[in-house]
Amino acid sequence: MPKRIVIIDGHPDPDQIHYVHALADHYERGAREAGHEVRRFTVANLDLPLLRTARDFQSGTPSAAVRACQEDLAWAEHWVILYPLWLGSMPALLKGFFEQVARPGFAFRSGRGRAAHRKLLAGRSAHVFVTMGMPGIFYRWYYRAHSLKSLERNILAFMGIAPVRSTVVGMVEGVSANVRRKWLLRISGYGARAA
Protein backbone atom coordinates (compact mmCIF):
# COMPACT_ATOMS: atom_id res chain seq x y z
CA MET A 1 0.00 0.00 0.00
CA PRO A 2 1.53 3.37 -0.99
CA LYS A 3 2.68 5.65 1.79
CA ARG A 4 3.33 9.35 2.11
CA ILE A 5 7.04 9.73 2.84
CA VAL A 6 9.15 12.73 3.79
CA ILE A 7 12.92 12.48 3.39
CA ILE A 8 15.06 14.69 5.62
CA ASP A 9 18.57 14.87 4.18
CA GLY A 10 20.45 16.05 7.26
CA HIS A 11 23.94 16.56 5.87
CA PRO A 12 24.90 20.19 6.60
CA ASP A 13 26.98 20.53 3.42
CA PRO A 14 24.87 20.68 0.22
CA ASP A 15 27.79 19.52 -1.97
CA GLN A 16 26.56 16.40 -3.76
CA ILE A 17 29.88 14.58 -3.24
CA HIS A 18 28.67 13.41 0.18
CA TYR A 19 27.41 9.84 0.47
CA VAL A 20 24.39 10.87 2.58
CA HIS A 21 23.00 12.72 -0.45
CA ALA A 22 23.44 9.63 -2.65
CA LEU A 23 21.68 7.50 -0.03
CA ALA A 24 18.78 9.99 0.06
CA ASP A 25 18.61 9.96 -3.76
CA HIS A 26 18.41 6.17 -3.88
CA TYR A 27 15.82 5.95 -1.10
CA GLU A 28 13.69 8.49 -2.97
CA ARG A 29 14.10 6.67 -6.28
CA GLY A 30 13.13 3.31 -4.77
CA ALA A 31 10.11 4.82 -3.02
CA ARG A 32 8.84 6.65 -6.12
CA GLU A 33 9.28 3.59 -8.34
CA ALA A 34 7.20 1.58 -5.86
CA GLY A 35 4.37 4.14 -6.06
CA HIS A 36 4.91 6.00 -2.78
CA GLU A 37 4.39 9.77 -2.61
CA VAL A 38 7.62 11.51 -1.60
CA ARG A 39 8.54 14.97 -0.42
CA ARG A 40 12.12 15.82 0.41
CA PHE A 41 14.23 18.60 1.78
CA THR A 42 17.93 19.05 2.37
CA VAL A 43 18.59 20.76 5.67
CA ALA A 44 21.72 22.44 4.25
CA ASN A 45 19.53 24.38 1.80
CA LEU A 46 17.06 25.69 4.38
CA ASP A 47 17.13 29.11 5.99
CA LEU A 48 17.21 27.97 9.62
CA PRO A 49 18.15 30.48 12.29
CA LEU A 50 19.17 28.95 15.62
CA LEU A 51 16.83 29.30 18.55
CA ARG A 52 18.42 31.27 21.36
CA THR A 53 15.69 31.66 23.98
CA ALA A 54 13.00 29.52 25.58
CA ARG A 55 10.53 32.29 24.78
CA ASP A 56 11.27 32.01 21.06
CA PHE A 57 10.85 28.21 21.21
CA GLN A 58 7.56 28.46 23.11
CA SER A 59 5.89 31.36 21.34
CA GLY A 60 8.12 32.68 18.56
CA THR A 61 6.93 32.76 14.97
CA PRO A 62 8.58 30.09 12.82
CA SER A 63 10.09 31.25 9.52
CA ALA A 64 8.36 30.44 6.23
CA ALA A 65 10.95 27.68 5.61
CA VAL A 66 10.21 26.08 8.98
CA ARG A 67 6.44 26.25 8.41
CA ALA A 68 6.86 24.59 4.99
CA CYS A 69 8.87 21.78 6.61
CA GLN A 70 6.21 21.38 9.29
CA GLU A 71 3.56 21.01 6.59
CA ASP A 72 5.55 18.24 4.91
CA LEU A 73 6.21 16.50 8.24
CA ALA A 74 2.51 16.63 9.16
CA TRP A 75 1.54 15.33 5.70
CA ALA A 76 3.88 12.33 5.84
CA GLU A 77 3.10 8.93 7.33
CA HIS A 78 6.75 7.87 7.32
CA TRP A 79 9.85 9.98 7.99
CA VAL A 80 13.28 9.10 6.61
CA ILE A 81 16.16 10.90 8.33
CA LEU A 82 19.72 10.67 7.03
CA TYR A 83 22.82 12.25 8.55
CA PRO A 84 26.56 11.75 9.04
CA LEU A 85 27.89 11.13 12.53
CA TRP A 86 29.88 14.21 13.57
CA LEU A 87 31.69 14.29 16.92
CA GLY A 88 29.56 11.38 18.08
CA SER A 89 26.17 12.89 17.25
CA MET A 90 24.07 14.50 14.55
CA PRO A 91 25.45 17.69 13.00
CA ALA A 92 24.43 20.90 14.77
CA LEU A 93 22.42 22.11 11.77
CA LEU A 94 20.18 19.03 11.91
CA LYS A 95 19.72 19.46 15.67
CA GLY A 96 18.82 23.10 15.03
CA PHE A 97 16.31 21.94 12.42
CA PHE A 98 14.56 19.69 14.94
CA GLU A 99 14.53 22.49 17.50
CA GLN A 100 12.82 24.74 14.95
CA VAL A 101 10.18 22.29 13.71
CA ALA A 102 9.38 20.48 16.98
CA ARG A 103 7.68 23.44 18.57
CA PRO A 104 4.74 23.48 20.98
CA GLY A 105 1.45 23.46 19.11
CA PHE A 106 2.94 21.52 16.21
CA ALA A 107 4.84 18.59 17.70
CA PHE A 108 3.35 18.49 21.20
CA ARG A 109 0.98 20.24 23.54
CA SER A 110 1.62 20.70 27.23
CA GLY A 111 -1.12 20.72 29.81
CA ARG A 112 -1.94 19.74 33.36
CA GLY A 113 -2.87 16.44 34.95
CA ARG A 114 -3.52 13.56 32.59
CA ALA A 115 -3.05 15.83 29.59
CA ALA A 116 0.42 16.89 30.77
CA HIS A 117 1.95 16.07 27.42
CA ARG A 118 0.12 15.34 24.20
CA LYS A 119 2.13 14.01 21.25
CA LEU A 120 0.65 15.68 18.19
CA LEU A 121 2.51 13.65 15.54
CA ALA A 122 1.56 10.18 16.80
CA GLY A 123 0.79 7.55 14.19
CA ARG A 124 3.88 8.16 12.08
CA SER A 125 6.91 5.91 11.74
CA ALA A 126 10.55 6.73 10.97
CA HIS A 127 13.73 5.18 9.62
CA VAL A 128 17.03 6.82 10.54
CA PHE A 129 20.20 6.26 8.49
CA VAL A 130 23.54 7.31 9.96
CA THR A 131 26.83 7.26 8.06
CA MET A 132 30.16 7.18 9.86
CA GLY A 133 33.85 6.52 9.45
CA MET A 134 34.07 3.82 12.13
CA PRO A 135 32.65 0.31 11.80
CA GLY A 136 28.92 0.35 12.49
CA ILE A 137 29.14 -2.57 14.92
CA PHE A 138 31.72 -0.66 16.97
CA TYR A 139 29.38 2.35 17.16
CA ARG A 140 26.43 0.21 18.23
CA TRP A 141 28.24 -1.90 20.82
CA TYR A 142 31.06 0.23 22.21
CA TYR A 143 29.33 3.62 22.00
CA ARG A 144 25.86 2.09 22.45
CA ALA A 145 24.54 4.15 19.50
CA HIS A 146 23.96 7.04 21.87
CA SER A 147 23.12 9.66 19.21
CA LEU A 148 20.53 7.37 17.65
CA LYS A 149 18.99 6.69 21.05
CA SER A 150 18.92 10.39 21.80
CA LEU A 151 17.16 11.15 18.51
CA GLU A 152 14.69 8.31 19.04
CA ARG A 153 13.88 8.99 22.71
CA ASN A 154 14.38 12.71 23.17
CA ILE A 155 13.07 14.02 19.87
CA LEU A 156 11.03 11.53 17.84
CA ALA A 157 9.27 9.74 20.73
CA PHE A 158 8.59 13.13 22.35
CA MET A 159 6.55 14.05 19.26
CA GLY A 160 4.87 10.64 19.02
CA ILE A 161 6.89 9.14 16.15
CA ALA A 162 6.98 5.35 16.56
CA PRO A 163 8.15 2.85 15.61
CA VAL A 164 11.62 4.10 14.73
CA ARG A 165 13.99 1.87 12.82
CA SER A 166 17.69 2.64 12.37
CA THR A 167 20.40 1.63 9.93
CA VAL A 168 24.07 2.37 10.49
CA VAL A 169 26.34 2.64 7.45
CA GLY A 170 29.88 2.34 8.78
CA MET A 171 33.31 2.80 7.19
CA VAL A 172 31.90 5.00 4.41
CA GLU A 173 35.31 6.45 3.59
CA GLY A 174 37.18 3.16 3.81
CA VAL A 175 35.08 0.73 1.78
CA SER A 176 35.30 -0.10 -1.89
CA ALA A 177 33.12 1.45 -4.58
CA ASN A 178 31.46 -1.96 -4.90
CA VAL A 179 30.40 -1.95 -1.24
CA ARG A 180 29.09 1.59 -1.59
CA ARG A 181 27.03 0.52 -4.64
CA LYS A 182 25.59 -2.39 -2.64
CA TRP A 183 24.49 0.04 0.06
CA LEU A 184 22.80 2.22 -2.54
CA LEU A 185 20.89 -0.81 -3.86
CA ARG A 186 19.93 -1.78 -0.34
CA ILE A 187 18.59 1.67 0.45
CA SER A 188 16.57 1.67 -2.78
CA GLY A 189 14.94 -1.49 -1.46
CA TYR A 190 14.17 0.22 1.85
CA GLY A 191 12.54 3.01 -0.15
CA ALA A 192 10.44 0.60 -2.20
CA ARG A 193 9.16 -1.05 0.98
CA ALA A 194 8.89 2.29 2.84
CA ALA A 195 10.72 0.48 5.61
Residue 112 vs residue 190, higher pLDDT = 190
Q: Whole-angstrom Cα distance, residue 69 to residue 16?
A: 21
What is the average pLDDT across 48-65?
92
Q: Which domain holds residue 139?
A: 4-193
Tally of domains in the chain: 1
- Quick one: which of 73, 91, 108 has its CA closest to 12? 91
CATH for 72: 3.40.50.360
- The share of the chain scoring above pLDDT 90, in percent, equals 82
Give the least confident one: 4-8, 37-41, 67-71, 106-110: 106-110
Strand order from edge to edge, sheet including 37-42: 37-42, 4-9, 78-84, 125-131, 164-169
